Structure 1
Amino acid sequence: MERQRASTGTEWEAQNGYSRALRAGNTIYIAGTTAVDLDGNVVAEGDPYAQTQHILDIIADALADVGANLDDVVRTRMYITDIAHQDAVGRAHGEIFADIRPAATMLQIEGLAEPELLVEIEAEAKLEDINGS
């Protein structure tokens, strides 16, 4: 099966051997994405809502790189470092996915790669094939 990859160009992708997005056939997988800019700086430190918005922007760009968009997302997984952030993260997620309504999971985890990171999101998308399925 042919694979199409998208990269944000961060050093971690090559170092750790992964792609930001991978399209295999009609399915697209978006790797766990955090609120880090291209220079490795945490964005919106201390603000789970703004971090979620930034993450979803990165995911939207990665989807576009492989011929998809947020409307194609069928599943998201949100990892948060403090369950008290669930409303802020959920609100940002809901603003983007209110009409799309993918299957979604939110889990509290012990921590992420940097202590300032409050949220990490994975996504899966599905495109219709030329036969419409």
Structure 2
Amino acid sequence: MQKTKINLDESIRRGGEYSHGVSVNMGGATLVFTSNQIAVDARGEALYENDPKEQARYVIEVTDRILNEVGAGLADIVKTIIYITDMSYFPDVSDVWDEYFKSYEPASSLVEVKSIGHPSCIVGIEVVAVVDKNINA
């Protein structure tokens, strides 16, 4: 089993010792796990403060970039965990989600949390994707 770290360029702040994602070669397929993504810039400043739609859109786009680094994409997602700081944001986040996942609905969990790593971030998303090929070779 081969594990490969996935990190985007410096325009996306990581902070701390973790990767944006990790791909794991399982033989005939590769699993891709992303860290919880939030809407922050390279300086660690929150983007789209208090705007659940734009934060969700930004996070989905960053997630797609992470997956693209290893030849995967949003269509390869099999599981998501969506974190929001207030359940009242769910309709807005769901509207954006539906823009990206019209014909395919991965298994999903929605969790309300007190905080998502930055006081102005209100949406966070992490995913698991499966690619039906060895992308780490």
TM-score by length of 1: 0.89
Q: Structure 1, residues 70-120: CA drift from partner, whole Å, max 9, x if none?
A: 110111110000000000011111111121210111111111222211011
User: Is residue 102 from structure 1 mapped to residue 96 from structure 2 by the alignment?
Assistant: no
Distance in structure 1 (CA, Å) of the matches to 2:110 and 2:98: 13
CA contact (8 A) 2:14 2:20 kept: no
Task: For 2:133 and 2:6, locate their aligned partners in 1 and report how far apart those are by CA, in whole Å.
Answer: 20
Q: CA RMSD in A?
A: 1.3
Q: Which consecutive aligned stretches of 4+ in structure 1 deviate over 6 angstroms post-superposition?
A: none
- 1:1-133 matches, within 5 Å, as 1-8=1-8, 9=10, 10-12=13-15, 15=16, 17-25=17-25, 26-129=30-133
- Letter matched to residue 57 of structure 1: E
Q: Percent identity?
A: 26
- TM-score normalised to structure 2 length: 0.87
Provide the aligned length of Structure 1 versus Structure 2: 127
After TM superposition, give the deviation of residue 11 of structure 1 in Å.
Answer: 4.8
Contact 1:4 1:66 in 2 (8 A): no
Structure 1 gap ranges (5+): none
| Aligned-residue offset at 1:37 | 1.4
CA contact (8 A) 1:77 1:106 kept: yes
Gaps of 5+ in 2: none
Residue type of the alignment partner of 1:125 = A
Matched residues in 1 for 2:111 and 2:74: separation? 21
